């Protein structure tokens, strides 16, 4: 396995381990059921999400969402295998690790465990987890890489096809 692929796989394993480790703590600590204030705008509050982002598709069968996530992971692995640079490999590794973390929750619990509750006064952002952080970070890196290519490289790629 080349160094770029290895870096991507290491990022996927790290994201998955951080996600599953943090969820294990949240699931086994009774205080998180009622919420624990960390800062005036952050609580740790255990919750279950049977849908996807923001609870969308909450009525869909858990196994269908898990199957969809695993299909996406397969496509991301193919992309990682073809990755040519470290930034793309890191981004894809984060996406893969995050998607696997949430898919594993669906397979084990029928829903995704969320616990990060950010709020401003009475307004609460939907609760999320470390897998979601990895997915958003990986997506941001992919977008950043796409927007920051040198002008000449973008022009050359558009000329190819």
Instruction: Name the percent of the chain lying above pLDDT 70.
Output: 84
Query: What average pLDDT does this structure show over 90-106?
Result: 95
Q: What is the pLDDT of residue 157?
A: 61
Q: What is the pLDDT of residue 124?
A: 87
How many domains does the chain divide into? 1
Q: What is the mean pLDDT of the chain?
A: 88
85/146 Cα distance (integer angstroms): 12
Domain of 70, in residue numbers: 3-160
Q: What amino acid positions are annotated as catalytic residues?
A: 114, 132
Measured CA distances, 26 to 50, 119, 127, 130, 131 (Å): 17, 19, 13, 12, 14
Q: What is this structure's pTM? A: 0.85
DSSP assigned state of 128: B
* Dihedral angle sign, alpha carbons of residues 79, 49, 117, 108: negative
């Amino acid at each position: 396995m080349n160094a770029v692929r290895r870096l991507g796989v290491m990022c996927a394993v790290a994201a998955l381990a951080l996600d599953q480790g943090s969820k294990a703590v949240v699931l086994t600590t009774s205080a998180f059921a009622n919420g624990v204030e960390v800062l005036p705008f952050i609580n740790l509050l255990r919750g279950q999400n049977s849908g996807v982002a923001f609870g969308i598709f909450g009525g869909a069968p858990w196994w269908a969402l898990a199957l969809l996530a695993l299909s996406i992971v397969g496509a991301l692995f193919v992309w990682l295998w073809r990755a040519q640079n470290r930034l793309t490999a890191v981004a894809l590794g984060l996406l893969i690790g995050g998607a696997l973390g949430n898919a594993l929750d669906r397979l084990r619990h029928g829903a995704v465990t969320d616990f990060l509750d950010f709020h401003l006064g009475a307004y609460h952002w939907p609760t999320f987890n470390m897998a979601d952080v990895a997915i958003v970070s990986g997506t941001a890196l992919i977008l950043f890489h796409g927007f920051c290519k040198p002008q000449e490289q973008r022009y050359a790629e558009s000329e190819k096809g």
